Amino acid sequence: MRTTLKLVLPLAFSVVLVSLLYASYQYRTQRRSLYNDLSRRAATLAETLQESVEAVPGRATDKNLQRMVARIGQREHLLGVAIYDRSGKVLAITPDHPQYFEERPNTAARSDKLGAGAADFLSVAGLPLYVYALPLHRDTEQTGTLLVIFDTSYIDERLSHSLRDSLLTALLQTILITALAFVLVRWNITAPLARTAKWLVTMRAGSSDTSSELPKGELFDQIHTEVKHLAHALNTARAAAQEEAQLRESQSSVWTAERLRVSLRNKLGAKPLFVVSNREPYMHVFREKDKAIQMIVPASGLVTALEPVLQACNGTWIANGSGNADREVVDEHDHLQVPPDRPTYTLRRVWLTEEEESGYYEGFSNEGLWPLCHIAHTRPTFRLDDWIHYQRVNRRFADAVLEEMKGAQSPILLAQDYHFALLPKMVKEARPDAAVAIFWHIPWPNAEVFGICPWQRELLEGLLGADLIGFHIQTHCNNFLETVDHALEALTEWDRFAVNRQGHVTRVRPYPISVAFPKTNGEAKPSRSAGEERGVLCAELGIEASLLAIGVDRLDYTKGIIERFRGVERFLELHPAYQRRFSLVQIGAPSRTDISRYQQFIQEVNAEAERINHRFQVGHWKPIVLLLRHHSHQEIARFYRAASVCLVTSLHDGMNLVAKEFIAAREDEQGALILSSFTGAAHELTDALLINPYDVQQLAEAIYQALDLSSEQQSARIARMRKTIREYNIYRWAAHLLSDLTEIRIEAPERNEVPFLT
């Protein structure tokens, strides 16, 4: 109640004050108007009488004058008329006049003296009067004075009534407005605030989310947004504290987002962090139906790992602005504060032309380096024009990095992947005080294979501009050092895995990337069991199957999708009892569809699936269900939970996170993972059924073995792999990579900043 009164009473006082000021103004205006009206009426009447009186000849007309003024007296508020001669003697006067008008008043004497009209307000015996006098003439000689007298008491009476009405109106307005304000404040402000406070108390006490109890309405939308963010942060902090306490209790060393944030904030100190990648963490596009701008978060484990660090140190992420509405939301410096709900770091977008995008990304990166490094029997294509665009785009990004670093002391840069092999050297030459790292997310082939690239020397020199190069596994580190040995004149220090070239030392280390292990504290578990989820999914897909296998890949020739299909075909040949029971759901996300090899591969995948289905399909059952579209994390998680087997049959892969995502999603500790031995994940997930994807017979037997595992065997294998992923998660990857980078001592000479290209 006190809060309501504090809000309402000032409003009531303001209404009273405004009403009084308006009443006062209205009173003065009406008073002036009435007096002006009376003055005009008196002057008009006097001038009319003046003409009539001056037309009467001589003294013989005194009786006529008396009759004239007697007739004139019947006017509204007119008290009387008097006519005086030059000496001041009354010649004629209205009957029943006040006795004092028998003598000429000062107003008439002043008019006679001035020879012009004169007016006064008088009070006689408590009666307010208004008198107006005009001189009389005869033959140009002044002969007397005419006086008209008005009773002004009506003005005071009228003003009194008007003032009373104004004050009553003000009082009623004040009462009504105050009452309405009281109700509105109670209804729209104090009561919702009380409910919000109660909700916060409930959240602080650790109860479940009760956001439905929050008041609705535009007035509180922004407050609710911030309150929910505050509650979310509180819950996150509470969960992190509980998790940290459990980890301390069990003496575990599991990394969490909060632990990563705190650890690297302490290690980075005041050093600013910059991340460069081709893919941006947030993309803006126009919706087709209404052209409204929509924000999309591209699926990326990298964002999961690096956002906590960038948020902790107010870092900057520099990326290719690939969304068709990206330009609409940045400022004049191409900056955007992200995440949208709680902006804590900067996204800097770099704009590429279609020609640059085609040459640098589709051409040199994905038709050249990608097949070269994956050794997947697709011939790499190297074109001079693509190489020129690759160099140009790397310079564009390097200039953007240097522009963002301007004025920063001892900055830290983490570049991502094979798109930016030249960038470390470009940045290091301009900013030798910067600590530069690059993580190569794809495999690194042996020296002979990499030597196919016509510009291997330039790529290696660009990479060696970094202080730290990261790969997924040790084999890729070894291959890189051997490539340097073959192609460059440099000191390769195998004992500490480093390259010393022209006095600059580059460390080469393995950092196996992973996924964020799902949290269980305070989160709702799936409402359906694996069997129930499988039934729902089969109904949605229009198939009949009691056993599901799942494959999740980009439609890329390195993923072994066709080999996987042939393995399923061979399995059904060897074990016909599984026909009409076993189906493989293959989620294939279209990728790089502007490249002819990828267009051809999509056709090959479709043709192979149709061939096998045509051979085995019966009724509503078919062995292969091909879903060629992008799926969200939530959609894919349903298939992970429902599948009896997950098939990862990459012909060559740096790591492959699908294998880890499947294991992390299986909270029921059931199911089996068939994993290609040519993936980085095979070095960690040794409890998977490891296969050679080129061996169709081995793959078929692995499917049979996976389906034949007992529930206890499945649980034992999945539990061990889940423990590995939980301990070696994405946060540990980021912590070790960036911690190693911050511990490198940078011997930087006096720097001369290179001017930026425009």
- The full DSSP string for 609-628 is HHHHHHHH-BTTB-SEEEE-
A 10 A CB-CB count for 510 gives 17
At 181 the pLDDT is: 79
Domain with residue 607: its CATH number is 3.40.50.2000
Q: What is the mean pLDDT of residues 141-166?
A: 84
Closest CA to 511 of 732, 294, 351, 352: 732
Burial class (CB in 10 A: 0-12, 13-18, 19+), 68: middle
At 524 the pLDDT is: 53
101: helix, strand or coil: helix
Whether 507 is in a domain gets the answer yes
Q: What is the pLDDT of residues 29-74, one digit of tens each?
A: 888 888 888 888 888 888 888 888 877 765 545 677 777 777 665 5
Q: What is the pLDDT of residues 523-537, one digit of tens each?
A: 456 678 999 999 999
Element (H or E) spanning 577, and its range? none
More confident residue, 754 or 588: 588
What are the tokens at 623?
Answer: 């062995």
| Strand extents, DSSP E, 539-671 | 547-554, 582-589, 624-627, 645-648
At 756 the pLDDT is: 45
Distance CA 302, CA 68 (A): 110
Whether 738 is in a domain gets the answer no
537, 506: one domain: no
One-letter amino acid identity for 235? N
Q: Are 366 and 376 in contact (CB under 8 A)?
A: no
Among the listed ranges 227-241, 633-647, 730-744, which one has the minimum average pLDDT value?
Answer: 227-241
At 755 the pLDDT is: 47
Q: What is the pLDDT of residues 659-696, one digit of tens each?
A: 999 999 999 999 999 999 999 999 999 999 999 999 99
Q: Which of 465, 492, 515 is the last residue of a domain?
A: 515
484, 618: one domain: no
Q: Are 444 and 680 in contact (CB under 8 A)?
A: no
At 752 the pLDDT is: 47
Whether 376 is in a domain gets the answer no
Whether 422 is in a domain gets the answer yes
Q: Which of 515, 546, 572 is the last residue of a domain?
A: 515
Q: Is the pLDDT of residue 222 over 90?
A: no
The mean of the pLDDT values for the chain is 86
Element (H or E) spanning 17, and its range? helix 2-54
Q: Is the pLDDT of residue 496 over 80?
A: yes
Distance CA 527, CA 9 (A): 53
724: helix, strand or coil: helix
At 388 the pLDDT is: 97
330, 468: one domain: yes
Domain span at 236: 211-249
At 92 the pLDDT is: 80
Whether 392 is in a domain gets the answer no
Q: Are 319 and 350 in contact (CB under 8 A)?
A: yes
One-letter amino acid identity for 491? L
At 661 the pLDDT is: 94
Among the listed ranges 184-188, 197-201, 236-240, 661-665, which one has the minimum average pLDDT value?
Answer: 236-240
Q: What is the pLDDT of residues 360-373, one digit of tens each?
A: 999 999 999 999 99
84, 42: one domain: yes
Distance CA 5, CA 149 (A): 56
Among the listed ranges 187-201, 371-385, 432-446, which one has the minimum average pLDDT value?
Answer: 187-201
Residue that is written with structure tokens 């301007």 in the block: 406
228, 285: one domain: no
At 62 the pLDDT is: 65
Q: What is the mean pLDDT of residues 620-627?
A: 96
At 250 the pLDDT is: 45
543, 644: one domain: yes
Whether 366 is in a domain gets the answer no
Distance CA 631, CA 262 (A): 33
More confident residue, 113 or 200: 113
Whether 51 is in a domain gets the answer yes
585, 721: one domain: yes
More confident residue, 289 or 96: 289
- Give residue 259's pLDDT band: very low, low, confident or very high (50, 70, 90): confident
Sign, CA torsion 595/597/598/602:
positive
Q: Is the pLDDT of residue 619 over 90?
A: yes
- Give residue 174's pLDDT band: very low, low, confident or very high (50, 70, 90): confident
Into how many domains does the chain fold? 4
At 439 the pLDDT is: 96
When computed from its CA atoms, the radius of gyration of the chain, rounded to whole angstroms, is 47
Whether 194 is in a domain gets the answer no
To the nearest whole percent, how much of the chain has pLDDT over 90? 52
Q: Is the pLDDT of residue 240 over 60?
A: no
555, 507: one domain: no
Q: Is the pLDDT of residue 561 over 90?
A: yes
To the nearest whole percent, how much of the chain has pLDDT over 70? 87
Helix axes 711-727, 657-665, angle to 10 degrees: 120
510, 589: one domain: no
Q: Is the pLDDT of residue 95 over 80?
A: no
Q: What is the pLDDT of residues 415-428, one digit of tens each?
A: 999 999 999 999 99
At 230 the pLDDT is: 67
More confident residue, 163 or 236: 163
Q: How far is CA 652 from the centre of its chain?
A: 38
286, 307: one domain: yes
554, 624: one domain: yes
719, 638: one domain: yes
Distance CA 722, CA 666 (A): 8
For residue 259, give Cα distances in angstroms to 247, 255, 264, 470, 739: 11, 6, 8, 22, 13
Domain with residue 124: its CATH number is 3.30.450.20
Q: Are 242 and 221 in contact (CB under 8 A)?
A: no
One-letter amino acid identity for 742? T
At 21 the pLDDT is: 86
At 153 the pLDDT is: 85
